[in-house]
């Protein structure tokens, strides 16, 4: 049987690493201070050695094949550890040209990205960020195949975290029940019977068949009238504003000031326990200088929400007045 490793020129792995980071032959060549033809030639030799095309052409550059992602997942921790051992103090965010894929929800994007993008423009102008939808259930697999470098969102502490998944909690998420201001439930006692019978919507991108709040109700022997499940918060708020739907949503995350004249926030009869809002990554990135810098930057910029925890029970108008 052919011993591929014994015959492999390990210098080719530097080219492979640059292509994985850049997704573009020209930028990989610039990163390595090589010509494009040298990079293309190295890629050809690596393809011949490993028996896989490794990268497929796209409109903007190249995309790794499944075999390339699998290889990178195995090689990257050791590659990064070797680079760190040889030159531990050479990371400079001003010069770093890597790309990071971050998973987050639409409202996390609205809350995190404007400030983060501005900060990175000043401190890491060549670093690129690509966003992908957040899915708690799919995160371990996404980490394993290299599809996601970092995630930001509510990581459920009652789910079984996959081995190797790390988290850093930034703040607790609090839920309340949202409805339009002239909804029949907006005034008077919000009894359990009226609450469960109302038309509910939910926002779910965790990959779970049963929404988190419904699991909580089920544990109490209860069931609500869940009619609609969406995968983004913006349309959910628009639907609540224009209909009789109500929704138990993470109001700590949502900027409700723009809806203060249209929505009412009430505490549901069955209160949703606070959940941690976290930065999430795989342990293989623990010592990676650029990844560590990005994690620490996000944590330092967003260690507290704009609202205090008890603001979740306030109406949008009350919360804005503080």
Q: Where are the alpha helices (DSSP H) in 138-191?
A: 139-144
User: What residue spans define the domains of the chain?
Assistant: 4-86, 99-171+277-301, 173-275+309-321
Q: Which residue has the higher pLDDT, 40 or 313?
A: 40
Assigned architecture for domain 173-275+309-321: 3-Layer(aba) Sandwich (3.40)
Give the C-alpha separation, 220 to 210, whole Å.
15
Q: Does domain 4-86 have CATH number 3.40.640.10?
A: no
Reported as a pLDDT band with limits 50, 70 and 90, residue 96 is: confident
Q: Return the pLDDT at 138.
A: 73
314 is written with which tokens?
């306030």
Q: Measured between alpha carbons, how far is residue 157 from residues 39, 133, 148, 172, 276 in Å?
A: 45, 20, 20, 11, 8
Q: In the chain, what percentage of residues exceed pLDDT 70? A: 85
Contact present, 269 and 190 (Cβ < 8 Å): yes
What does the angle CA 59 – CA 61 – CA 62 come to, to the nearest 5 degrees? 110
Please say if the pLDDT value at position 298 is more than 70.
yes
Assigned architecture for domain 99-171+277-301: 3-Layer(aba) Sandwich (3.40)
Average pLDDT over residues 299-315: 56
Give the C-alpha separation, 130 to 314, whole Å.
35
Reported as a pLDDT band with limits 50, 70 and 90, residue 289 is: confident
Please say if the pLDDT value at position 313 is more than 50.
no
Q: Return the pLDDT at 318.
A: 39
Please say if the pLDDT value at position 264 is more than 70.
yes
What does the angle CA 117 – CA 317 – CA 112 come to, to the nearest 5 degrees? 15
Q: pLDDT digit string (tens) for 201-252?
A: 999 875 567 888 999 999 999 999 999 999 888 899 999 999 999 999 988 7
Q: pLDDT digit string (tens) for 103-138?
A: 998 888 988 999 999 999 999 999 999 998 887 767
pTM here is: 0.66
Task: State the chain's mean pLDDT as an integer.
Answer: 84
Please say if the pLDDT value at position 5 is more than 80.
no
Contact present, 296 and 168 (Cβ < 8 Å): no
Q: Backbone phi, then psi, for 173, in 5-degree steps?
A: -95, 130
Q: Return the pLDDT at 114.
A: 94
Q: pLDDT digit string (tens) for 176-212?
A: 999 999 999 999 899 999 999 999 999 987 556 788 8
Establish whether domains 99-171+277-301 and 173-275+309-321 are of one fold.
yes
3 Cα distance to chain centroid: 39
Q: pLDDT digit string (tens) for 72-85?
A: 888 877 776 777 66
| Strand 246-249 with 199-203, pairing | parallel
């Amino acid at each position: 049987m052919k011993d591929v490793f014994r015959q492999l020129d390990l210098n080719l792995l530097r080219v492979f690493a640059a292509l994985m980071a850049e997704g573009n032959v020209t930028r990989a060549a610039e990163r390595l201070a090589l010509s494009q033809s040298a990079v293309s030639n190295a890629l050809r030799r690596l393809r011949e050695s490993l028996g896989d095309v490794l990268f497929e052409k796209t409109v903007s550059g190249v995309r790794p094949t499944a075999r390339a992602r699998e290889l990178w997942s195995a090689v990257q921790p050791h590659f990064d550890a070797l680079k760190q051992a040889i030159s531990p103090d050479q990371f400079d965010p001003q010069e770093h040209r890597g790309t990071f894929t971050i998973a987050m929800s639409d409202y996390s994007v609205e809350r995190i990205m404007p400030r983060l993008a501005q900060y990175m423009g000043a401190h890491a102008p060549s670093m690129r960020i690509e966003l992908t939808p957040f899915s708690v259930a799919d995160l371990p697999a996404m980490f394993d195949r290299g599809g996601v470098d970092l995630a930001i969102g509510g990581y459920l502490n009652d789910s079984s975290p996959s081995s190797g998944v790390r988290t850093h909690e930034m703040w607790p998420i609090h839920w309340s029940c949202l409805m339009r201001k002239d909804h029949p439930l907006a005034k008077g006692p919000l009894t359990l019977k009226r609450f469960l019978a109302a038309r509910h919507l939910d926002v779910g991108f965790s990959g779970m068949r049963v929404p988190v709040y419904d699991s909580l109700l089920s544990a109490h022997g209860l069931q609500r009238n869940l009619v609609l499940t969406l995968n983004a918060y913006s349309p959910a708020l628009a639907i609540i504003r224009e209909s009789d739907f109500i929704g138990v949503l993470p109001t700590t995350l949502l900027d409700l000031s723009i809806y203060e004249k249209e929505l009412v926030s009430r505490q549901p009869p069955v209160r949703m326990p606070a959940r941690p809002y976290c930065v999430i990554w795989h342990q293989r990135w623990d010592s990676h200088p650029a990844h560590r810098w990005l994690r620490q930057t996000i944590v330092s910029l967003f260690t507290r929400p704009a609202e205090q925890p008890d603001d979740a029970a306030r109406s949008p108008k009350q919360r804005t007045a503080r």
